[in-house]
Amino acid sequence: MIRISNITKSFGDNLLFKNLSFEFNENSRIVIQGKSGSGKTTLLKILCGLESADNGTVEKDEKCKLSYVFQQDCLFDHLTAFQNIVFGISETISKEELWNRVKRISIDTCCQEFLNQKTSTLSGGQRQRVSLARALIQFPDVVLMDEPLSHLDKELKRKMMDSILFLQEKYKFTLIYVTHDDWEAKQLGQQFIQL
């Protein structure tokens, strides 16, 4: 599905990684770990085309759909949770179909009352649920997550981790997950990249 071959990336004299190669298999969970500044986020950006490698290649299946969950939730606070989740989806899809999709990827509190709230009124955990739902609304093949739980307390982190594991099992997407947290890595990791 996605293969990186001999990619190298540096910023000035700071070499992040050199000749890195890895194959990301379908329906797998890959954890990328490393110290702050080791290039974890940069690698995710290279995988989805937001950044270019200095050398090497990134190969993706032509029809591979990717979604990205950023460390900061990047929501539009003037919109409702529902409007954030469906933002950017083609207008040719009916509102009924959109609601059906949101119900299919619902994450505990995604009831109609919750979905009609402005995101500016939501808690950190609720905002992360909206971010996750937005990433999954188009049923992608690959979901990239950049430390999405880093700002949550222990209890919320466990709940969100359960949701991520459940949804990855249910929808069979490849999960590429960046974290520096050993507990998160142990919960999710089937394969590991250490930077």
What pLDDT is stored for residue 27 in this prediction? 93
Asked whether the predicted pLDDT for residue 107 surpasses 70, the reply is: no
In degrees, rounded to 5, the angle at the alpha carbon of residue 100 between the alpha carbons of residues 165 and 155 is 30
pTM (2 d.p.): 0.87
CATH 3.40.50.300 in the chain, residue ranges: 1-65+140-194
pLDDT tens figures, 25-38: 999 999 999 888 89
35: exposed, middle or buried (Cβ count in 10 Å: 0-12, 13-18, 19+) = exposed
Asked whether the predicted pLDDT for residue 185 surpasses 90, the reply is: yes
Asked whether the predicted pLDDT for residue 23 surpasses 80, the reply is: yes
pLDDT tens figures, 122-163: 888 788 888 888 888 888 999 999 998 887 788 888 888 888
Q: Got the DSSP string for the chain?
A: -EEEEEEEEEETTEEEEEEEEEEE-TT-EEEEE--TTSSHHHHHHHHHTSS--SEEEEEE-TT--EEEE-SS----TTSBHHHHHTTT--TTS-HHHHHHHHHHT--TT-SHHHHTSBGGGS-HHHHHHHHHHHHHTT--SEEEEESTTTTS-HHHHHHHHHHHHHHHHHH--EEEEE-S-HHHHHHH-SEEEE-
What pLDDT is stored for residue 20 in this prediction? 96
Q: What superfamily would CATH give domain 1-65+140-194?
A: P-loop containing nucleotide triphosphate hydrolases (3.40.50.300)
Which is more confident, 121 or 73? Answer: 121
